[in-house]
Amino acid sequence: MATRVLSGYQGRPTNEQWIGPGVYENDDPRLFGRAMYLVENGHAVEVDAEPAAAPIVADYGTLTDYSTVTVVDPVMTEYSKMKKVDLVIMARDRGYTVKQATKAQLADLLRQDDQDSE
């Protein structure tokens, strides 16, 4: 059995450690032994699925050269108009762990990721 964390969780039961959204085996150490707690409290659901690969953990400064980011698609999501918390969630959903990034850096990272996935 596996657990799908719906939108991420951070709280006292995990000693304020972030659990990103995704599918995890119930005994995955990234759940801090709290799989059933997350399900019982509506933060996750049980699923019969393969767990996702571990997220990419990187220092933000090593991900890209922000001076060379260019937007090639004028219809792209306008990340600069989004709230920082939404940008952080989107970056985490894409597998990035970003520490102490500004809103502009997050927007640039997501734009670059969009370009790389084309």
Per-residue pLDDT of 92-105, as tens digits, reads 888 877 777 788 88
97: β partners: 57
Tens digit of each residue's pLDDT (9 = 90 or more) over 78-88? 887 888 888 88
pLDDT tens, residue by residue, 17-60: 888 888 888 899 999 999 999 999 888 888 876 545 555 444 44
